[in-house]
Amino acid sequence: MRELMGDEVLDAVEKLKVVAAEAGLTTAQLAIAWVLRRPEVSSVIVGASSSAQLAENVAASGIRLDHDRIAAAEAIMSVAAV
């Protein structure tokens, strides 16, 4: 099992930030939209420490990721899978 805060995982997070920014999203919004795209998932449990974070998370529920963004995120995560 890889170290959760190892360089490989941290590098993947930085790459995901780029994918998210290219779509005009935060990394959290990308992650939530990625999970919610699955037909077997009806909701996502998220945490928020401020009303701004809550609003950001809620906004992700309406985001539809295109095939290229999904493929990019999955390629990045497959390299850093723990």
Asked if residue 65 has pLDDT above 90, the reply is yes
Tell me how far CA of residue 31 lies from CA of 28, 46, in angstroms: 5, 11
Average of per-residue pLDDT across 44-69: 92
Residue type, 17: K
Which pLDDT band, with edges at 50, 70 and 90, does 47 fall under?
confident
Closest CA to 64 of 39, 37, 31, 25: 37
What is the pTM for the complete model shown?
0.85
